[in-house]
Structure 1
Amino acid sequence: MGALDYLSNFCTVTSTRSKRKAMQTVEIKVKMDCDGCERRVKHAVTSMKGVKTVEVNRKQSRVTVSGYVEPNKVLKRVKSTGKKRAEFWPYIDQHLVRYPYASGVYDWRAPKGYVRNVVQAFPASINAPEENMVTLFSDDNVNACSIM
């Protein structure tokens, strides 16, 4: 043990600062009609502290922000531009959902290939009864059924 290690045991510095925010991606749905709306939203979010990248997709009405930011602050900043109906991105890819046409999942306002992210779209458990019946007579697993 060196002298510096020995002395460092006596001198402990505690920081009053909080840890740095985690890097995250925030997706927001906001209706943008023209280039001015798009520019105003992009400028408002870009000027925030901790923002690394901002992607605006006017066709999907989607703003994607990456950086060391809090999601609620990003949403609040977007709403401050006059877009009061802004909300977190409520959609997920359609191929990730087991039941895309369940009630409340399919949304005609969703962009192509997306459905609403709700609990009903996913099965209650991994070993659901109907899933067990389907895999019982599977062509992929030849030894699944002893009758065949």
Structure 2
Amino acid sequence: MGLLDHVLDFCDDVTFPKRKKRKPMQTVEIKVKMDCDGCERRVRNAVTKIKGVKSVDVNRKQSKVSVTGNVEPKKVLKKVKNTGKRAEFWPYVPYNLVSYPYAPQAYDKKAPTGYVKNAPQAFATPGDLDDRYTWMFSDENPNACSIM
């Protein structure tokens, strides 16, 4: 049986070309400055023409475009930039998901209501610094300070 399985595997590889891996279903969020209905329509039409797009949600008030489907994020961003608009990936996270929303590089006055910038300082846990200093002078730490 081993030889027969090997021959069948060889025949499958030779006769049938491998299929391309399908892109996963995902949501791509992009920040685009849109001033009027024409800008919104231009961005929406450009994005809907991409192969694999299931739905497009444009929110002009937040300057946000959400594209859902089997698409690559870089292709979506490039297509939006081809409309002549300045675009970037959505740099914000919801306010209630971060530990320190007023961290120096997380708080942004230009952010939409309920959002802060996606900065690592905002996600830090509160006791990290204190735990490190306590561990430096702990009796259980073999590398602790020996001055005491």
TM-score tier after normalising by the smaller chain length: 0.7 to 0.9
Map of 1:117 onto structure 2? 118
Map of 1:95 onto structure 2? 96
If each structure's helix is expressed as a fraction of its own residues, which one has the higher value?
2
Map of 1:146 onto structure 2? none
- Provide the C-alpha distance between the structure 2 equivalents of 1:122 and 1:9, rounded to a whole number of angstroms: 49
Query: Cα distance 1:95–1:55, how it changes in 2: closer, same or farther (>3 A)?
Result: same
Query: With structure 2 as the length reference, what TM-score do the two structures score?
Result: 0.76
Return 9-18 or 42-51, whichever deviates more: 9-18
Q: Structure 1 residue 29: deviation in Å?
A: 0.2
Map of 1:40 onto structure 2? 42
Per-residue CA shift, 1:57-78, capped at 9, x if unaligned? 0000000001111000000000
- Provide the C-alpha distance between the structure 1 equivalents of 2:59 and 2:9, rounded to a whole number of angstroms: 54
Map of 2:19 onto structure 1? 17
Report the number of matched residues.
Answer: 127
- Provide the C-alpha distance between the structure 1 equivalents of 2:121 and 2:88, rounded to a whole number of angstroms: 21
Query: With structure 1 as the length reference, what TM-score do the two structures score?
Result: 0.76
Structure 1 residues 1-148: aligned runs within 5 Å: 11-13=11-13, 14-83=16-85, 85-123=86-124, 128=128
**What code does the residue aligned with 2:17 have?**
S
- Provide the C-alpha distance between the structure 2 equivalents of 1:55 and 1:40, rounded to a whole number of angstroms: 13
**What code does the residue aligned with 1:61 have?**
S
Per-residue CA shift, 1:14-36, capped at 9, x if unaligned? 53332111111100000000000
User: Percent identity at matched positions?
Assistant: 64
- Provide the C-alpha distance between the structure 1 equivalents of 2:54 and 2:78, rounded to a whole number of angstroms: 18
Per-residue CA shift, 1:86-110, capped at 9, x if unaligned? 0000000000000000101000100
Map of 2:144 onto structure 1? none
Query: Cα distance 1:12–1:105, how it changes in 2: closer, same or farther (>3 A)?
Result: same
